[in-house]
Amino acid sequence: MPDQRMITVDTRDHGPVTIPEPAWCAGVHPAGGFRVDITHASGEMPLTFGTECCGPVPVLTVVFESRPYTDRPPGRGVFVNVGFDSDWHPLDPAGLEALADQLTVHAGRLQGAARRLAVLVEEESDQ
């Protein structure tokens, strides 16, 4: 295994805590929190849609995370946090696959709606 980068985070309850940092981590570890709150997080991977009225609008955001000292779900291992509907939703690989499957189904529905809209626009222009 290659040398792993070590980082130190100053916490209010355990003082300086030195831990390995995953290669995918963006390296943002604010000092002054509790040890249980230490989080490794990747950069955000946003999915946006460009609208005519408002420009790019966020649809959802994906972030890889791990929380090495938590006792709460989803646990200490790496997971994906998906941000949508003004909240974050932690997912394991199966949950992320299920979300992707649902988005694929919804994309098909949107394509069907686009075809139906084209017909309606054409019918309206013929009147």
| Contact between residue 74 and residue 92 where contact means Cβ atoms under 8 Å apart | yes
State residue 85's pLDDT score. 87
pTM > 0.95: yes or no: no
Q: Is the pLDDT of residue 1 over 60?
A: no
**What tokens were used for 50?**
């460009």
Q: Is the pLDDT of residue 121 over 90?
A: yes
Nearest to 76 by CA among 87, 89, 92: 92
Neighbours of 109 (CB within 10 A): 9
Query: d(Cα 30, Cα 8) in Å, to the nearest integer?
Result: 10
| Contact between residue 61 and residue 44 where contact means Cβ atoms under 8 Å apart | yes
In one-letter notation, the amino acid at residue 124 is: E
State residue 2's pLDDT score. 60
Q: What is the pLDDT of residues 52-103, one digit of tens each?
A: 999 999 999 999 999 999 999 999 999 999 999 899 999 999 999 999 999 9
